Amino acid sequence: MKYLVLVSSILASFSSWAVTTSNYESWSLLCNDSSVCTLSQLVAKDKKATKVLLGVNVDYSYSKNFPVLIIKLPKNTLTKNGVGVKIDDFAPLQVPFSGCDGKTCQSIIKIDSELLDQMNNGRTMLVAFQKSENQQVTLPISLAGFDEAYKQLTSRVKR
C-alpha cells in the first residue's frame, strides 16, 4: 500500500485563529496571529488528506526552553507497546504513548540535541506502531526541508 506524504495546512488548535503558512519542502510552518508556531507534516492515504494515518508536529508548546516532537496516530492504535521512531541508520527510539482522545492517540517526545541533529541532517524518519496484536505499521516522514523550517520556527519563539 502506498501512502502520500502531505504537508498540513490546518491544525485543530489553530482553527479559531488566522494562520499563516510557510512551506519548506516536506514541512509546513504554521503560525497564528499570536506568533504561536508549529512545524507540521501529515501522512495520508489520499491526496485530499481525508484518511490521515500519521500527523507529526514539532514545536515549543511544552516549554520555551526545548522543542517537542508530537506524533499523532489513529485512535484505534494498540498503545501498549508505544511508538518506534528511527531516523536513517541511527539507533531507534521506543517511546510510550502520552494518551488518547476521541480522535487520536499521541506520543510527545522531548527533542534533545542528539535527536535534533538527526532530524536536521537525516533523510527519513520512520514511525512504527501496532494497529493490532498481529499488525505493525511503519510510515515514513520526510525530513527534507526540516533544517530550514526548524531555523524559522526557533526564530519565532518568544523566550
Compute CA distances 3 → 72, 117, 132, whole Å.
16, 26, 19
Q: Rounded to two decimals, what is the model's pTM?
A: 0.85
What is the CATH number for 88? 2.60.40.1880
CA 102 – CA 123 distance, rounded (Å): 32
Q: 89 burial class (0-12, 13-18, 19+ CB within 10 angstroms)? A: exposed
**What is the model's pLDDT at position 10?**
35
Residue 41 lies in a domain: yes
Please check whether residue 134 lies inside any domain of the structure.
yes
pLDDT for 49 equals 66
Is 13 a domain residue? Answer: no
- What residue type is assigned to position 41 of the chain? Q
The answer for 44, left when phi > 0, alpha when psi is -120 to 50, beta otherwise, is beta
Does residue 84 lie within any of the structural domains?
Answer: yes
Rounded Cα–Cα distance for residues 67 and 50 (Å): 28
Choose among 152, 149, 148, 143: nearest CA to 122. Answer: 143
Long-range contacts of 8-11 (CB under 8 A, 24+ apart): 8/40, 8/41, 8/42, 8/49, 8/55, 11/38, 11/40, 11/57
pLDDT of residue 2: 42
Assigned domain for 11 exists: no
Select from 24, 43, 142 the least CA-distant residue to 88: 142
Answer whether residue 8 is part of any domain: no
In a domain, 62, yes or no: yes
**Domain-embedded: residue 12:** no
Side-chain half-sphere CA neighbours of 124 within 13 A: 10
Residue type, 44: A
For the chain, the domain total comes to 1
User: What range does the domain containing 138 cover?
Assistant: 20-158
Per-residue pLDDT of the chain (159 residues; tens, 9 = 90+): 344 444 333 344 444 557 889 999 999 999 987 778 999 999 877 666 677 789 999 999 999 999 999 999 998 899 999 999 999 999 999 999 999 999 899 999 999 999 999 999 999 999 999 999 999 999 999 999 999 999 999 998 876
